[in-house]
Each structure stands twice: as C-alpha cells, then as structure tokens.
Structure 1
Amino acid sequence: MKSAKLETLDDKPVLRLERRLAHSPEKVWRAISAPEEMAHWFPALIETEPRAGAEMRFTFPGEQEVSGGEVLEFDPPKVYAFRWNSDVLRFEILPDDRGCVLVFTQVLGAGSGFTAGRTATGWDICLAAMVARLEGREAETVDHRPIMLHYLRKWNLAGASVSETDTGFQVRCVLDVVWRPFETVWAALTEGKQVDPGQAPPDGFTVAPALPGSVTEVDAPRELTYRWSPEGAPAGVVRWRLVHDPELATYVEVTQTGPPALAADTEAIGDAWQLHLEKLFATLLDVDLEPSGG
C-alpha cells in the first residue's frame, strides 16, 4: 500500500504500481486477463475476447450503465493493455527468479490528474485483493481514507497553479472530494450557518493571506464569492465553486485574483490554499491529517 508512483507521459498523468509476486507468470497472467478471475478483484465486470482489437464492456455490480473500451495489446503471458473510456491500462509481467514482477500503469485522461489519489488508492486495494486471490485467501478489509490523504499530500494534488490575467494574476486550486454531496461539503465549510451577501464569509472559505471582505455572491451549496484585501486595500476576489462531473469527479475549485503589485505573494497564497483544502479533505473523510510527506 501507498507505493504508487505518479509520473507524466506526453503531458498526461500516469499511475505506476509494481508488485513482486511469488507465482509463475502464467498464473498471474490468468489473474489479470481472464474476466472470470478479474471479477474477484477488478473494480468492474468485463466482457471481451482474448485478442488485440476486441471490444470491451465494463459494468459495475448493481448498475445498468455500460462503459466501453478496446483491447490494445494481448501477448500472453507478458502484456495485457486496454482502453477503458479515455484511460489506458497496461499490465506487464516480468519473470524473475522468485516468480514475477507485475507492473501496472494507468494513463489518466486529460484534466484528471487531481483525481490520481483516489484512483491510486483504488488500485492499491484492488491489487491487494488480486494477491489474496492468488494466495487462496480472503482479501483483508482496508480503510481507504488515510491512503487517499497520503497520496493527496505526497503528490500535492491540491497544489496551486498560477496564471496571468488582464488585471494581474489568478491562483487556482482544485480538490477531489470523492463524490461527497454538495450539501456535505457546504456544511463543512459553513459549519451549518446560513451565508448571505454582505456578510463576512465563514472561516471555512478563508485563509490568512487573503483578508476577507464581504460576500458578493452566494448560491448555496454551489458557489460563494467574496472580496479580499491586504491591509484593508481592495485587491481582488476569492471564488469557491462546487462542481459535479459524473465522468470525472465531484470537486471543489478555489480561485483567487489579485493585482500585479501583489504577484510576489502568489506562492504564499497558493501554499495557504493547498493546506486549507487538505484540512477540508481530512474533515470530509473523518481522518487525521498526517504530517506532510508522511
């Protein structure tokens, strides 16, 4: 657990997980390629044929929605690669003197890098279930929450991006809230209090480098915007948005704008928002915030 790596290929995020297995390549091949065996550990049920170019159907137990894909490589007992929606998954089996090494990679779709922690955690748990199946035992129950938090902090997934605008700069952070309902996230930010235009924003929406002014717009539980100022001088706006994309994530987007004169402060502002969102994530998942890098 917690051993996944996040890399980049052609500007796309790539997850990489390796498992050293005391089993023959042939046995592991069946576990990672036969649909009836994958049903014991893979997150979706698969219908396909064992050949490159074959169509694939993915369904989740209890759900009617079907997603599609295609077998890209089928080279037993070495490589099995396929496309699932816009992602590409690849299993490679490398023989060694004690059995084999399984190398799993997933090329994530464009714009989905901030979900890598959730995805990596899922594969940690799925691969643990696969290993248990290979060893003829029941998979252990795993608490996914601290693993997600670990990857969130290790990979700086809530970290800020900074861009120039016509009026100065914009700092932007995004946080995957792991399908939490808008109402749950909003309640955590407001502590259950009503927010109206003209009021000061609740502390859950603020960080120290951005002294809050008054709320200018609010659309509970989706959006909140307020003015901010350093030392009382108007500088820009902070905007919170809660977004649900059924193909990607439910997430929080925080943007903060400011003038060129304060551009030197963007790193401190971004760091403050990152830590703030990591604390929000820990609150939503009801898990302790581990030391950074732990």
Structure 2
Amino acid sequence: MNERLLTTPDGRSVLHMQRRLAHPPAKVWRALTEPEHLAQWFPTEVSIDGDQVRFGFGPGGTVIAHDPPRLLALTWGDDELRWEISPDTTGGTLLDFTHTFADRHGAASFASGWHTCFGALSRLLDGLRPHAPGDTAALHEHYVAILGLSGGTARGGTVRVERQLTRPAPVVWLALDGDRATVGAPPPAPFTAAGVEAGPVTRAEPGKLLEFDAGAGTVRWELTEGTGHGARLVITHRDDPATLPAWRAHAEDLATTVAGLTT
C-alpha cells in the first residue's frame, strides 16, 4: 500500500493510493470501465453515456479525461476521481488513483472505502468472487493515523478538534453517557478532559450537542452528519488554547472506544 494525503493550492485535499495488480493493463482497463465489471467492485452503480456519468447515489458527474487504456478521470459532484494505469516490469499493472475533495476530515473514510474497493477489484481480476463488505472501523482508524488526521487547532484563543468517527451519533451519544446530561448539573464524565475544569451544563440536545462552562470559557460538543457511516465530532473550547493537547487526546480515546463497539 502507498497512501498520501496532499493539499492543493486552493485548499482541497488529494488522496493518492497506489496498487500493483498481477494482470496486464488491458485487462485492468476493462475492469475499470466496463459496467459488468464495475458493478462488482465500485462502491455504487455507475453508468457512462458519452461524457455524462450517473451514480447509484449522490450527484452525477462528467468524464474529464479518457485515454484508453491509460487514463480515466471523472467528476462525482464536486469531487474528482482519477485512475492512471501503466505496465510494470513483471507484466502486471501499476494503478495510481487520486481522489480530490473538500472534506479533509473525511479522508480516512474515503481511504478505507477505496481500500475495500481495490481489494474487490483485485479478486475480480483473479477470477474470484469479491468478499462482502465488512466492518471497516479498524481500517478507518489505521488511515486516520497514517494520513495524519488526529490533530486540532488553537486559533484566536479557541481550541477546535474535529474527528470523523466510525459509529453513528446515537451510538456515540450513549458511549458518552449523554442520556445522563442535565442542564445545571455537571456534565457526564466522558464529556470532560484531563485538566479541564468542568462547570454546569448550559445546553443539551440529545444525540447532537452538549455545552458546559469550563473556567472562564465554554466547551461545546457537536455530533453532526459525517463521511461514511459514522458521526462527525467537533469539540470547541473557547478562551483556553492551552487545552488543545487534552482535547486531542480525549477525542482519540473516544474514537478508539466507539470503533470497538457494534451497532
């Protein structure tokens, strides 16, 4: 495997993945472009009519490059997908794939999804039935680590930690003991971080949001729609930038915990 996450001058993210396939480029090209093969490894139904592309979910797209049997590039809504294939020295194929998108924090979801797809593509080329998709939570967390997605920021006195999780918001809320949150009372312990003074809860929306006073500042937890099957976690702590390491570590601990849960 060879994965990298780059940033374009205009701030978009580019996921680069490379695979070596033990089959000649002409065979790989057919698997990349012929509908009966695409249906066995691509994440959704896809049909190409001229330069127009239709997918089984989400917006449509356009073919922006088509150079058989070397290059296929198309858009999927605002995203761009690009496959480049070339022969390697063993008679097989080197596949270079890039996915360009705006949501950097969704990169691990994209990477784990494409990893699974390319595994299915490899089995298809080998003449085997692709495996049924399984739980990719551990794979997602692996990509969070290797793509460097576990950081946060401290700007203008406010800490912000954003993290894609692998389980839906109701499951995460229960893991946080969110159903015990009461306005005016201290927040449940899973909402607090080491060294952060926790005052009373000032706002609670079950499964979505919790705010509480923290010394001279305010902590806000949000669970919103994420990329893939899990919720997007955003923690902000106003007026105490020194708490960034604590909240970053806490978000990682939570991500590890929920990845081990079943839905």
The reply to whether TM is greater than 0.5 is yes
* 1:84 CA displacement: 0.5
With over 3 angstroms needed to count, the CA separation of the structure-2 counterparts of 1:143 and 1:217, relative to structure 1, is closer
* 1:248 CA displacement: 10
| Map of 1:82 onto structure 2 | 74
| Offset from partner CA, 1:34-79 (integer Å, 9 cap, x none) | 2221111000111113x5xx111000xxxxx553000010100000
TM-score of the superposition, structure 2-length normalised? Answer: 0.90
With over 3 angstroms needed to count, the CA separation of the structure-2 counterparts of 1:283 and 1:163, relative to structure 1, is same
* 1:183 CA displacement: 2.2
Range that drifts further, 274-283 or 29-38: 274-283
**Structure 2 counterpart of 1:254, from 224, 235, 240:** 235
In 2, are the aligned partners of 1:41 and 1:130 still within 8 Å (CA)?
Answer: yes
**Structure 2 counterpart of 1:280, from 225, 239, 254:** 254
With over 3 angstroms needed to count, the CA separation of the structure-2 counterparts of 1:281 and 1:118, relative to structure 1, is same
| Map of 2:224 onto structure 1 | 243
Aligned counterparts of 2:77 and 2:166: Cα–Cα separation in 1: 19
TM-score of the superposition, structure 1-length normalised? Answer: 0.81
3-state DSSP class of the match of 2:200?
Answer: strand
In 2, are the aligned partners of 1:210 and 1:228 still within 8 Å (CA)?
Answer: yes
In 2, are the aligned partners of 1:115 and 1:249 still within 8 Å (CA)?
Answer: no
Aligned counterparts of 1:78 and 1:244: Cα–Cα separation in 2: 37
| Map of 1:125 onto structure 2 | 116
In 2, are the aligned partners of 1:88 and 1:106 still within 8 Å (CA)?
Answer: yes
Range that drifts further, 269-278 or 75-84: 269-278
* 1:87 CA displacement: 0.7
| Map of 1:6 onto structure 2 | 5
In 2, are the aligned partners of 1:153 and 1:278 still within 8 Å (CA)?
Answer: no
| Offset from partner CA, 1:185-241 (integer Å, 9 cap, x none) | 111111x64211121111111111322111111122221111112xxxxx2010111
3-state DSSP class of the match of 1:123?
Answer: helix
2:196 is aligned with 1:210: yes
With over 3 angstroms needed to count, the CA separation of the structure-2 counterparts of 1:123 and 1:215, relative to structure 1, is same
| RMSD (CA atoms) | 2.2
Aligned counterparts of 2:87 and 2:98: Cα–Cα separation in 1: 17
**Residue pairs, 1:6-45, within 5 angstroms:** 6-10=5-9, 11-45=11-45
| Map of 2:55 onto structure 1 | 58
Q: What residue ranges of structure 2 are gaps of 5+ in the alignment?
A: none
